[in-house]
Structure formats: C-alpha cells, structure tokens
Chains A and B, each alone.
Chain A
C-alpha cells in the first residue's frame, strides 16, 4: 500500500505557482477562501508564486495552477512556457478549462470586437478568438466553475498529491442538488440549467435557491433538444406548465442562456446527444 512520503511523483515538497490569463481572477480569490483546508494543503506544498496572496515570485515550480482564457498570441507563448516548466499543469475554473464569458466574443469577427471595445484606439492591439487553456496545451487536471468549484479543487489537489487521475464528473447538477435534498428550482417556477450542466460544485447555487447558470459547462451527453422540448411543451403538468407559461422562452432565448458558459466550441443545440442512436 503506498504509504511513505505522500508525494512520490516529485521526490520533494513540490513548489506551486499560480498564473492568470484573461479572466477576473476570481478563481484565485476563491482558493484563498478555502482557509483551513488551504492550510492543510500548504502542509504538502510550497507556494512560490501567487500574485493575489504574496509578493515573492519564482521561475522554478513543479505545479502550475492557471486560470483564465487564451485571447492573444502572447498568451499562447506564455502558457507554452509555463507548460514547459511545470511538471503538472492544473487549469482553474471554466475560463481555463471549458468555455466561459470570454468565448462570447467569438460570435463576431475580431475586427468588430476590437472596434466595439476600443473604437478608434484599436490600432496596435491584437486579439484572437478566445479559447480555454486546455485547447492550447496539454492539461493534467481540469477544474471547472465560475469561480472554480472548491469541492472539485480540493478533490483535484488530493488526487494530484496521491498520484491519481481526476475525471470531471459526467453527471448533471441535479444529482448533487437532489442528494443534498434541495428544492428544485423549477418547483418555484424558475428555469435552471442544472439538468444539462456538469456537476462537481455540490449544487452551490441551488443550495441558496438560485437557478444553475451552467457555469461548469455542459456534461458530455447533455440533451439540449430535450431542454427545447421541455421549456416549450404545451401539454405539461402543473410544475412544468407553470415554468413554461411564466417564461414562454423561445428556442433562441434558451440557446442564449446556454451560450453564456458554453460557447467553446461554438454551441450547437442540435448536436448534443452523443449517447443516442
């Protein structure tokens, strides 16, 4: 049974660095909110670079936690350099791992985007369609959420330090919502993206009675055509009838709701049933 030094893969107490790309840096902030658990983690690693938590920096590190999306050519060079240095690369949150708000800009041409944001001052600024870090370099561990789901972050750290792989769960938020015995948001007449969204957040939004916004991205076999049918169904029973009548969402409105966190790759409502024949 493996039981000596807990982190055999590094042979020493590994050094950890945090990096950010295009994002709000809320994932780093969330990790700081782990408090006691963070202290336990810090017993196993040394943090050498963490802009939001310390002033020192170092170019020597074993583990890189990277948040944010890749939106410029310079980002690509920078993340490649980090990948080269880090033995383990962990993406932090949906900007880095899946799709997030940044990818909304991909609906337009980059010239249009620059014009809208910078107007006449756009000269000399270059941008590329936004993409997660996982689309540019190999990633060892992915964590999702906006900000990053802390239960998943803790699980990933524990897997990494005990030499285990981590597969993001391929189940919807409904599973965690029900296991926690929360009230279904639909029962209150609201529309929730839980049924198509990858769980791992321990249903944090529905725990407060809020609808899932889908920040962890679609699960692999998300049945989006089913969502179109459910939210436009005329002959529904009482709970879903209340939801359908109250919101009377169109297909475009449903797609717009999903696109907020699911535009990488580009959202295609009709292609989302890979487990069906």
Chain B
C-alpha cells in the first residue's frame, strides 16, 4: 500500500460529491449559525467540506461515540420489551487530522480491552476514514505526543500541496474508494511539497512537554504534588470542558428517559466527565473524589499514568482542545511542565 497519488482541487470536489451521493459523509464544515468556526457534521454537498481548518470544538470521535446515544428503547408491556437502537448504514468520515486519527486509535484500544465494549467497534466497522494534514496553532503539541504524523486507522490520507492534495493510499478500502475519484500519478515535486508541508508543521509546533512519557508517568506516580494540584484547582471551574472536548476521553453516564406517553422511553448513554463534582458520588452519598484538586489530579494521572501504563502511550494526542476550551486558562502543556519542573527541582 501507501501508494501516493495526486488529487486536484477539482477532482477532490468531484470525489466528495460522489462519496456524498453514495452514502452519509461526515466532515469538517463551517457552522451555519456561527461562520468561521468549523465542526464535524454530516455533509449535504461537497462545497460544505472545509479541509483546511485548525481544530474543532469536539473531536471526530462523535461519529462513533455520539455525545448522546440511545442504547435501546423500551415499552412497559407485560413483560416489558427492549429493542436495541442499532445503526447499520456505512458512512465515511473525512478530514481527520493526524492527532485525531491517533485519538480514534486510542479509543479502539480502550474499548477493545476485555471485556470489550460493543458499540464502538461496530460503529468503526461501518466507517471509512480519510485523514488530512494540518498546520498547528499555539495550543497544539502533537509533535510532543508523537501523533503529528499519525496515519492510524486512515484509509486515505491527504496532504495539501500546490496542485491540490497528495493522496496516500493506506488500505484496500482506501483504494476501493478511489474508484470514485479522478486521481493522477504524483510527481517528485508533489512529494517534496508534502514533505515540506510536514517540515513546516513540525517547525511551527513550539509547545512541548519537557519529559518523556515514561519520565512524566514516573513523576506522577512517585511525587507528592498536592500543593500544585490545589493551586490549579483554585482556578478550575470543574466544568468538564477538558473532558468533553478530549479525543481520548471515553467515560460515560447511562440514564433512562420516559417518552411523554409515559409507557415507553429510552436508555441513553451520554458523555461524562471526571471533573464534574458528582462523578464519583455513590448511592450511599459518599463522594470519593469530592474535593476539586483530587479531580484535577485524577485527570493528569488517568491520561499520563494509568492509561499510559495500560496501553503503552499517554492518552493525550496533543490536539490542545482542552487548553483552548478552558475558560480558566488552565493549559495542559503549562501544567504538565510545571509538574515536571517542581519534581526536578526537588531532586
């Protein structure tokens, strides 16, 4: 695989048009109510697609794990009936940045861990994924998290060049998709432009974490940093936006809702956040992470220690969404580096 082809802007437009005619396509699209801000959304025409964008508020995991997802419907008959809500239509997810490809792959691993979750892989199996390269802003640190050149799970990957896009064909499904396109053979100049794009991207990435993932995990594991966590918590709203915008967060809540007919309804799964005050509250009334700084610490420990140890890489893609979304300006890179600096300062 990994053949490299050229797709001109015109060919891209036609390709997207055909993909959309063939089945549902989700991709980055300008917001109708608030133009200038891009979100992942179902596309109704090729011209809606915005392939050059910095980031989105919530990551493309929503294509496979919707923020609010009915699991089944029930009717209170005798006995009650339970009917699974099960999507089966194949779709295409377009315009996924390398960091988000890595994020999807991390969720593949997280949900596949025994006992494996069932909804995520079923949704993944329905989708083809087309990635696209991007240029970072000040919040991005994908280089530090080793995701800036990820191609994980992508069937096709696009890099912007002068003549359009250099297309990397990564899977058979990707090759199959290209039957809908008018691709040409890429030339050396196209390839070197794509390399230059990646170099430029790397050069623009200034934010980084000052320790290796292993050293960072060891610091979190061994160092008592209560004072720092309290300082951060003093600024933290516990609003959960760092979680609800995170491409690697996968916690959820499950609740029932009656229809207004009051004889039936749905069991619904929604995204949840460990930063919210009641996340660790139990039926008896005890809250095992009642204090704000305990929740702040948990976020760093979960991403950079526990899941790092379980899956072999930190559960952070460097996308910067959490820092961008934090209206208390708690920046994940700054805090991580402060953790590292204080730990080293003690030695």
Residues of A within 8 A of B (CB): 1-3, 6, 37, 40-41, 43-44, 154-155, 157-158, 161-162, 170-172, 174-175, 178-184, 186-188, 192, 194-196, 207-209, 220-223, 225-227, 229-230, 233, 236-240, 273, 275-277
B328 touches A225 (CB 8 A): no
Whether, in the assembled complex, B236 has its beta carbon less than 8 Å from a beta carbon of chain A, the answer is yes
Please, which residues of chain B bring their CB within 8 A of the CB of A225?
A: 234
In addition to A158-B258, A178-B57, 14 A-B residue pairs with Cβ atoms within 8 Å of each other are A44-B262, A155-B257, A158-B257, A170-B278, A171-B240, A174-B239, A175-B244, A188-B34, A220-B277, A236-B329, A237-B139, A239-B329, A240-B329, A276-B292
A3 touches B78 (CB 8 A): yes
Q: How far is B258's CA from A2's CA once the two chains are assembled, in angstroms?
A: 13
Closest 9 pairs (CB-CB, A-B): A178-B244, A174-B239, A40-B260, A179-B67, A195-B237, A240-B329, A6-B262, A3-B76, A183-B37
Query: B273: nearest residue on chain A (CB-CB)?
Result: A175
B33 touches A184 (CB 8 A): no
Q: Using known A-B contacts A178-B57, A276-B291, determine if residue A226 contacts B262 with beta carbons closer than 8 Å.
A: no
Nearest-neighbour CB distance to chain A for B227, whole angstroms, equals: 13
B57 touches A179 (CB 8 A): no
Interface members, chain B 263-309 (any A CB < 8 Å): 263, 270-271, 273, 276-278, 290-293
Please, which residues of chain A bring their CB within 8 A of the CB of B177?
A: none
B292 touches A240 (CB 8 A): no
Q: How far is B328's CA from A222's CA once the two chains are assembled, in angstroms?
A: 13
Query: B58: nearest residue on chain A (CB-CB)?
Result: A181
Whether, in the assembled complex, B317 has its beta carbon less than 8 Å from a beta carbon of chain A, the answer is no
B34 touches A209 (CB 8 A): yes
Contact of B292 among A162, A178, A181, A223 (CB under 8 A): A223
Please, which residues of chain A bring their CB within 8 A of the CB of B234?
A: 225-226, 229, 276
Please, which residues of chain B bring their CB within 8 A of the CB of A196?
A: 237
Stretch at the interface among B88-96, B112-120, B319-327: B319-327
Please, which residues of chain A bring their CB within 8 A of the CB of B323?
A: 237
Nearest-neighbour CB distance to chain A for B280, whole angstroms, equals: 12
Interface size class of B (residues with CB under 8 A): 35 or more
A175 touches B239 (CB 8 A): yes
A40 touches B261 (CB 8 A): yes
Q: How far is B327's CA from A227's CA once the two chains are assembled, in angstroms?
A: 9
Please, which residues of chain A bring their CB within 8 A of the CB of B291?
A: 275-277
Nearest-neighbour CB distance to chain B for A154, whole angstroms, equals: 7
Q: How far is B39's CA from A40's CA once the two chains are assembled, in angstroms?
A: 35
Whether, in the assembled complex, B62 has its beta carbon less than 8 Å from a beta carbon of chain A, the answer is yes
Nearest-neighbour CB distance to chain A for B334, whole angstroms, equals: 8
Q: How far is B325's CA from A208's CA once the two chains are assembled, in angstroms?
A: 18
Please, which residues of chain B bring their CB within 8 A of the CB of A223?
A: 236-238, 292
Q: Using known A-B contacts A3-B78, A178-B241, determine if residue A183 contacts B329 with beta carbons closer than 8 Å.
A: no
A174 touches B241 (CB 8 A): yes
Q: How far is B293's CA from A181's CA once the two chains are assembled, in angstroms?
A: 27
Whether, in the assembled complex, B138 has its beta carbon less than 8 Å from a beta carbon of chain A, the answer is yes
Whether, in the assembled complex, B18 has its beta carbon less than 8 Å from a beta carbon of chain A, the answer is no
Q: How far is B292's CA from A236's CA once the two chains are assembled, in angstroms?
A: 22
Whether, in the assembled complex, B331 has its beta carbon less than 8 Å from a beta carbon of chain A, the answer is yes
Q: How far is B331's CA from A236's CA once the two chains are assembled, in angstroms?
A: 9
